[in-house]
Amino acid sequence: MSKFFYLYIANTRITPLPGRNSWEIKIPGPILLCCYLILRFSYSLSFFVTLHLVLIFVFKMSATFQPRVCRTAERKLEIIKYAEEHGNCKAANYYKCSESSVRDWRKIKSVLQAMPKQKRARRGGKVKWPDVEEELVIWIKSLRARAKAAKVSTVLIRMEAEKIAIAKGYTNFLGGPAWCNKFMRRNGLSIRTVTTTGQSLPPGWEEKVASFHHFVNEKKNGIQLCQLANMDEVPMCFDSPDSRTVEFKGVEDVAIRTTGHEKSSFSLILCVTAEGNKLPPMVIFKRKTIPKEEFPRGIVVYANEKGWNNTEMMTEWLDKVWRRRPGGFFKTKSLLILDSATCHKTDEVKNAIKKHSDIAMIPGGLTKKLQPLDLTVNKSFKSKIRRKWEDWMVKDEEHTFTKNNKQRRASYSLVCKWIVDCWKEITPECIKNGFRKSGIQTYDGMDTIMEEETREIDMGEDEEFELDGGEIVVDLNIEHISVFDEATDEDI
């Protein structure tokens, strides 16, 4: 008898069905018959009846064994598509599922299409307060509208939800953190990283943009691309840490080491032309005197107590940078595009600019639409400065420390070297894309402008000028400025 059971097990085959989540068990008929005859004449009647029923069950299951399967939404949609073409019964037989399941899936086809493809179950009960959530979604949309662009936090959502629930007379509303997370999931909301900060666009900004473009197009007639320029101030800091870093999972304290000068700021004035050229940058440090350090070529250095641009610094920039651009000595027709900063709108600055070129003032609140430097150059430049600072921070041999073992910040001359090096890395393609995106200048047949060699600006020979009783010695080959007082022969 043991031989027959060995044959029974050896000749049983369990194979998966192709394309289906089920298996097929095949037991040869002769083996079943032999087992039946041996058991029929070898054991008692009760034992025979029990095994007889077991064999009947195995015989019925020998056709197909189908385990319980939890199918993904993508699989269910595939079954629905097959059922729509061939019918529910054929789809159930082909995919080895119940016909009632196929009917249920067809009823919720739109729900399955909205679900993630790999999601299997639709767990979760019905929304307890749907009217509260509907009104809350409308409230969030109104705050996040383009005109307001207000910050919305999860705490703010919970507080507003409680107000709405009280107004509607719900006494059992529980707007906890878990409810807030589920509410955000149900309505396609998530916490996002801010990509743009600043003032919202003013009312009627489309008309203002069109009017500015019309004004610039009239003014730039007959002006060469190298004489169509944009100037802007860029706030900078001695430390430029990023808000993200790589760290091992599970670490609670994720720190970034700095020198403690993240808020020690200074200003930088940049200017570019529509031809892709760059004028020398001008840096304004926050101190009373010019640092007594050796600065690199290609930068103009000034200092004042505030560390930002004002009427005096603007006048100096016009005299030391803008007037000495290529073609500036011969007063070639030009157009300088500025934003609406206070120091740009003073009569003294306007009169000084009009001696050398025309002015195009960008309307307030529209620099992110009309200023080429803001559109493409400034972000790229700041990213390059951050990389310089990060490289310097990891090189311990270049650091100096105080008596209290605190690391000193980068020197003024080193910061100026970073500025010069990063300014050289800005490509003409990047600058031209800024003018193209702002709508100020178009480049025929070129959506993406090919990169070309950066045009070097020849600043000419050494010159000397007199200003307010003091002698300003300008070495235009070194391209940094030192201001001396005649009486004391010291930096002022």
pLDDT band at 66 (very low <50, low <70, confident <90, very high): low
Kindly state whether residues 335 and 441 are assigned to the same domain.
yes
169 assigned to some structural domain: yes
pLDDT band at 331 (very low <50, low <70, confident <90, very high): confident
Report the predicted TM-score, pTM, of the whole model to 2 decimal places.
0.61
Tokens of 94: 């082909």
Kindly state whether residues 83 and 55 are assigned to the same domain.
no
Give yes or no for a contact between 200 and 146, defined as CB atoms under 8 angstroms apart: yes
**Pick from 6-10, 368-372, 377-381: least confident:** 6-10
196 assigned to some structural domain: no
- pLDDT at position 144 is 84
pLDDT band at 458 (very low <50, low <70, confident <90, very high): very low
> Which range, 12-21, 88-97, 187-196, is most confident?
88-97
- pLDDT at position 250 is 83
Q: Read off the pLDDT of residues 186-196 as tens digits, 9 standing for 90 and up.
A: 888 998 887 77
- pLDDT at position 39 is 54
Long-range contacts of 192-198 (CB under 8 A, 24+ apart): 196/368, 198/368
- pLDDT at position 439 is 92
The yes-or-no verdict on residue 422 having pLDDT over 90 is yes
The yes-or-no verdict on residue 208 having pLDDT over 60 is yes
Task: Report the percent of the chain where pLDDT is more than 90.
Answer: 43
Kindly state whether residues 341 and 401 are assigned to the same domain.
yes
Kindly state whether residues 341 and 408 are assigned to the same domain.
yes
pLDDT band at 275 (very low <50, low <70, confident <90, very high): very high
- pLDDT at position 463 is 33
298 assigned to some structural domain: yes
Residues paired with residue 482 on neighbouring β-strands, in sequence order: 473
- pLDDT at position 270 is 95
Q: State the total domains in the chain.
A: 4
- pLDDT at position 397 is 75
User: 414: domain CATH number?
Assistant: 3.30.420.10
The pair phi, psi for residue 336, each rounded to 5°, is -110, 120
490 assigned to some structural domain: no
Kindly state whether residues 213 and 83 are assigned to the same domain.
no
Rounded mean pLDDT, 136-150: 82
Kindly state whether residues 7 and 141 are assigned to the same domain.
no
Q: Cα–Cα distance between 335 and 318 in angstroms, integer?
A: 13
Rg (the chain; Cα; Å): 38
66 assigned to some structural domain: no
The yes-or-no verdict on residue 395 having pLDDT over 90 is no
**Pick from 151-160, 227-236, 329-338: least confident:** 329-338
Amino acid of residue 55: L
Rounded mean pLDDT, 166-184: 90
Rounded mean pLDDT, 147-174: 88
361 assigned to some structural domain: yes
Rounded mean pLDDT, 86-106: 91
367 assigned to some structural domain: yes
**Residue with structure tokens 């050289």?**
424
Residue-range definition of the domain harbouring residue 83: 73-114
20 assigned to some structural domain: yes
Q: Does an H or E element contain 3, and which? A: helix 2-10
Residues paired with residue 237 on neighbouring β-strands, in sequence order: 265
**Helices and strands (DSSP H and E) totals, the chain:** 18, 11
Q: Are strands 480-484 and 470-475 parallel, antiparallel or unpaired?
A: antiparallel
Task: Report the percent of the chain where pLDDT is more than 70.
Answer: 75
Q: Read off the pLDDT of residues 23-64 as tens digits, 9 standing for 90 and up.
A: 444 455 555 555 555 555 555 555 655 665 666 655 555 444
User: 135: domain CATH number?
Assistant: 1.10.10
The rounded mean pLDDT for the chain is 79
The pair phi, psi for residue 482, each rounded to 5°, is -120, 135
Tokens of 206: 């489309």
Kindly state whether residues 313 and 390 are assigned to the same domain.
yes
pLDDT band at 124 (very low <50, low <70, confident <90, very high): low
Strands (E), 82-182: none
Q: Read off the pLDDT of residues 67-85 as tens digits, 9 standing for 90 and up.
A: 678 889 999 999 999 999 9
- pLDDT at position 28 is 55
Kindly state whether residues 140 and 168 are assigned to the same domain.
yes
The yes-or-no verdict on residue 459 having pLDDT over 60 is no
pLDDT band at 247 (very low <50, low <70, confident <90, very high): confident
Kindly state whether residues 236 and 369 are assigned to the same domain.
yes
Rounded mean pLDDT, 300-308: 91
Kindly state whether residues 154 and 231 are assigned to the same domain.
no
- pLDDT at position 399 is 85
Of 413 and 489, more confident: 413
Kindly state whether residues 25 and 103 are assigned to the same domain.
no
Of 332 and 318, more confident: 318
Kindly state whether residues 83 and 170 are assigned to the same domain.
no
Rounded mean pLDDT, 381-392: 92
Rounded mean pLDDT, 211-234: 92
Cα 295 to its chain centre, rounded Å, is 35
